Chain A
Amino acid sequence: MSSAFAEAFLLIGSFDASLAGIIALSLKVSLSAVLLASAIGLPLGAALAVARFPGRQALIVALNALMGLPPVVVGLVVYLLLSRAGPLGEFGLLFTPRAMVIAQTLLVLPIIAALARQAVEDAWREYEEQLRSLGVAEFDAALTLLWDIRFSLLTAVLAGLGRASAEVGAVMIVGGNIDGVTRVMTTAIALETSKGDLPLALALGMVLIAIVLALNAAATLLKEAAERRYG
């Protein structure tokens, strides 16, 4: 067991090329998915926080429930959509990194939108009278709030990133874990563990945790600096 750890550290230290490729693809897929999901989810959450329409409460409940979407189910749905016989089959996206980005975007979107909705709604409670007094319409108010609490929204984005980088099920199903093409850290860990190559699995696991930790630390520092600066 301890020798597995030692070998894992050696692997990280030697900076194996295939290891680096797996890490790079993981980051590329998860960061793209989070970027896309943020571009859609943050405005969506803000709109849902500010707008009043029939069925709003039901939509919020549904959105919150979708936060717990099982990755394998998302993977299955995207698989059906992208498979040769599926409605989007002609694009030939299945078993490509793009398919993995699509699946992770769908997986992460409800998380980012739901958390943004909550944060913007809390801010709206504080700002509403003042903004309406200034004659700011709902749509502009939503944009104003998004910008004003942008550093708090980092938390929502980070939650999405945590989910995306940690999940195996969706990328496994739509990516296929093809060596050198669609193999990412989580699918590699699952594979190496089942093969019995514990040092490589451990090395990947440690890198994954280190990356997530570093991103969270950077975000926390940024948020604190912003709070000191802007109050």
Chain B
Amino acid sequence: MNRRSILPLRLEGVCFGARGRTIIDRVSVELDSGPSTIILGANGAGKSVLMRICHGLLAPTAGTVRWSASQRAGGARRQAMVFQRPVMLRRSALANVGYALAFAGVPTGEREPLALEALESVGLAHLAQRPARVLSGGEQQRLALARAWALHPEVLFLDEPTASLDPGATREIEAVIRAFDAAGTKIVMATHNLGQARRIGDEVLFLHQGRLAERTPVERFFSHPASAEAEAFIRGELPWTLGNGGSR
């Protein structure tokens, strides 16, 4: 594919407010292909909203979001998003992937082989004919990743994709995310799991009360965070990820 890349994505002075509350406050950032980007921050820091603005699900109340190439070339959006809770249609796993392909402009005859290949890549080929909604939470999330995989997006947004999954399912999801990365898809993920941030991420965007507090390579972020807010966050979060209870 030698189409022009939609990356880098440029955000300039992006703000978002709802009901008089500022959720995103003047965020300017450029996301380019290559490093996997992890968005960290406390609950309510604006991680999900920022990703939804990038993905086009929310319009910023101020500022601009610019991709480097048109989004609608060829019908497909060239970016995909996986949500914390996967939303599946009441049809088979295979048909759920086929549905996404249909709206990406893939001709009818080519959908099934592509969908099957996508299911295989996440290890769900044996469940292709199973109704999607009766799959387990982990399987549904892998199906959501297969649905994204079939679209061959240039950018994949993930909003806490393993937040409601057990460790085994989490490992499987992380393996698929790494496969996306290896295939050249830009990963942008919000997570609460700091171990996961380390395993997947190359750089961290740290949000604090809607502002971009810092952008740091992942190892340096955990050892020498640049901002006082990030330092406090790591001190507060790490004991919790080690399992010392919900003392927050």
In-complex Cβ contact of B57 among A129, A144, A148 (8 A): A129
Q: How many residues of B contact A (CB 8 A)?
A: 24
- Contact status of A144 and B89, CB under 8 A, knowing A133-B57, A135-B104, A231-B131: yes
Taking CB atoms and an 8 Å cut-off, the chain B residues in 52-70 that contact chain A are 52, 55-57
Complex CA gap A229/B131 in Å reads 7
In-complex Cβ contact of B80 among A129, A133, A136, A144 (8 A): A133
A122 at the interface (CB under 8 A from B): no
In-complex Cβ contact of B87 among A126, A135, A231 (8 A): A126
Are B81 and A230 in contact (CB-based, < 8 A)? no
- Contact status of A135 and B131, CB under 8 A, knowing A129-B57, A129-B83, A231-B90: no
What residues on B are CB-neighbors of A136 within 8 Å? 103
In-complex Cβ contact of A231 among B83, B104, B133 (8 A): B133
Q: How many residues of A contact B (CB 8 A)?
A: 16
Are A135 and B76 in contact (CB-based, < 8 A)? yes
A130 at the interface (CB under 8 A from B): yes
In-complex Cβ contact of A130 among B52, B75, B87, B131 (8 A): B87
Are B103 and A135 in contact (CB-based, < 8 A)? yes
Are B103 and A134 in contact (CB-based, < 8 A)? yes
Contact with B along A124-157 (1 / 0, CB 8 A): 0011011011111000100010001100000000
Taking CB atoms and an 8 Å cut-off, the chain B residues in 112-135 that contact chain A are 131-134
What residues on B are CB-neighbors of A229 within 8 Å? 131
B224 at the interface (CB under 8 A from A): no
Complex CA gap A83/B52 in Å reads 58
Taking CB atoms and an 8 Å cut-off, the chain A residues in 144-174 that contact chain B are 144, 148-149
Complex CA gap A129/B76 in Å reads 16
Are A148 and B90 in contact (CB-based, < 8 A)? yes
Are A230 and B87 in contact (CB-based, < 8 A)? no
Are A230 and B90 in contact (CB-based, < 8 A)? yes
- Contact status of A132 and B133, CB under 8 A, knowing A230-B90, A231-B90: no
B72 vs chain A, min Cβ distance (A): 8
Are A230 and B134 in contact (CB-based, < 8 A)? yes
B97 vs chain A, min Cβ distance (A): 11
What residues on B are CB-neighbors of A231 within 8 Å? 90, 131-134
Are A230 and B57 in contact (CB-based, < 8 A)? no
In-complex Cβ contact of B83 among A130, A144, A230 (8 A): A130
In-complex Cβ contact of B77 among A135, A140, A148 (8 A): A135
B100 at the interface (CB under 8 A from A): yes
CB nearest neighbor in B for A141: B103
Write the residues of chain A forming the contact surface with B, with a CB cutoff of 8 angstroms.
Answer: 126-127, 129-130, 132-136, 140, 144, 148-149, 229-231
Write the residues of chain B forming the contact surface with A, with a CB cutoff of 8 angstroms.
Answer: 52, 55-57, 75-77, 80-81, 83, 86-87, 89-91, 99-100, 103-104, 131-134, 147
7 closest pairs, A vs B, by CB? A231-B133, A130-B87, A230-B90, A231-B134, A133-B81, A230-B131, A135-B77
Given contacts A129-B87, A130-B87, A144-B99, list 11 more A-B pairs with CB under 8 A: A127-B87, A129-B52, A130-B83, A132-B56, A132-B57, A133-B81, A134-B100, A134-B147, A135-B76, A144-B89, A148-B89
